């Protein structure tokens, strides 16, 4: 809480390096504010030393949960009343993070499913594009199933050669080369759309860099948009008209966020 009594927002970024900065930029653009003083007081933590989340989940890398818990504790010590985590894969550990602090930690997964239910009430099948770690964790699949929705994921071979290569490959999105990754992501999206899904989730913050709403014949839901909208509301602010109930909450928009 600030000295003026406003809620302080903490952004847990650094996963990847641009996530915190670009999440904050999208927060500013989504908040209905005419002056500096009407924006949300925010502290951004670029925690670039957190071990890779996908490798941790799959057991092929260093554990990351302690670093994630330390990060939210740091933000709480900085005065954060509400925390959002820019890395979608890190949401596998959200209950551990929530259990370590008294401040509120919002979930991109929970908010995305809520948006799907509000914006596409007749949806039944939802395609999921995400890292292999996120898929293995089943955080999206379980949340969708609790709402009576059927998740559709790629088979392991296509997941590896299209989605993971698009994100992590030598010329992938994390390397700063969006073009090659875009072609692979288009193939992944096309495969899921061929299964007659009613929407796609861009379940990694790299994906909106390579896959755009106009590429898809169904709505493309962006968890980061849903998370930011929830953060604006939780901090007692209003969304800009373009972000409230419009495409920003229903489909992902082209941005420069990296996960």
- Identify whether residues 156 and 196 lie together within a single domain: yes
Residue 259 lies in a domain: no
Q: How much is the pLDDT for 242?
A: 60
Tens of pLDDT, residue by residue over 10-25, are 999 998 776 677 789 9
The residue annotated as part of the active site, out of 204, 216, 235, 251, is 204
- Identify whether residues 162 and 245 lie together within a single domain: no
Q: How far apart are the first and last CA of the chain?
A: 28
Residue 2 lies in a domain: no
Q: Residue 211: which CATH number?
A: 3.40.50.1860
78 is catalytic: no
- Identify whether residues 50 and 102 lie together within a single domain: yes
- Identify whether residues 217 and 198 lie together within a single domain: yes
Element (H, E) at 43: strand 42-46
Cα distance between residue 252 and residue 123, in whole Å: 17
**What residues make up the domain containing 34?**
9-107+224-250
- Identify whether residues 173 and 234 lie together within a single domain: no
- Identify whether residues 145 and 214 lie together within a single domain: yes
Residue 74 lies in a domain: yes
- Identify whether residues 192 and 119 lie together within a single domain: yes
Low-confidence residues of the chain, pLDDT below 70?
Answer: 18-19, 177-178, 242-259
Q: How much is the pLDDT for 178?
A: 66
Helix ranges (DSSP H) in the chain: 19-30, 53-58, 65-77, 94-100, 108-119, 132-137, 139-146, 156-158, 165-168, 178-193, 223-234, 247-250
- Identify whether residues 29 and 103 lie together within a single domain: yes
Number of domains forming the structure of the chain: 2
- Identify whether residues 98 and 121 lie together within a single domain: no
**CB under 8 Å to 214, separation ≥6 — which residues?**
none
The residue annotated as part of the active site, out of 87, 103, 251, 252, is 87
pTM for the full model? Answer: 0.87
216 is catalytic: no
Token pair of 217, please?
């014949």
């Amino acid at each position: 809480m600030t000295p003026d009594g406003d809620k302080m927002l903490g952004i847990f970024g650094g996963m990847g390096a641009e996530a915190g900065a670009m999440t904050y930029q999208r927060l500013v653009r989504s908040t209905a504010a005419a002056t500096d003083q009407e924006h949300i007081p925010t502290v951004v933590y670029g925690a670039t030393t957190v071990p890779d989340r996908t490798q941790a989940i799959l057991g092929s890398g260093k554990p990351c949960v302690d670093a994630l818990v330390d990060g939210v504790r740091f933000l709480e010590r900085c005065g954060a009343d509400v925390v959002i985590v820019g890395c979608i894969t890190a949401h596998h550990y959200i209950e551990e993070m929530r259990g370590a602090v008294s401040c509120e930690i919002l979930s991109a997964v929970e908010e995305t499913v809520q948006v799907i239910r509000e914006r596409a009430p007749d949806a039944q099948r939802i395609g999921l594009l995400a890292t292999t770690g996120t898929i293995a964790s089943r955080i999206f699949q379980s949340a969708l199933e609790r709402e009576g929705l059927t998740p559709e994921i790629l088979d392991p071979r296509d997941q590896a050669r299209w989605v993971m290569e698009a994100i992590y490959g030598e010329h992938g999105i994390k390397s700063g080369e969006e073009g090659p990754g875009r072609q692979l992501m288009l193939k992944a999206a096309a495969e899921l759309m061929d299964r007659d899904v009613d929407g796609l989730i861009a379940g990694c913050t790299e994906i909106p860099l390579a896959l755009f709403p106009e590429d898809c014949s169904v709505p493309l839901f962006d968890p980061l948009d849903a998370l930011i909208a929830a953060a604006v509301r939780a901090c007692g602010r209003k969304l800009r008209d373009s972000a409230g109930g419009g495409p920003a909450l229903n489909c992902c928009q082209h941005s420069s966020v990296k996960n």
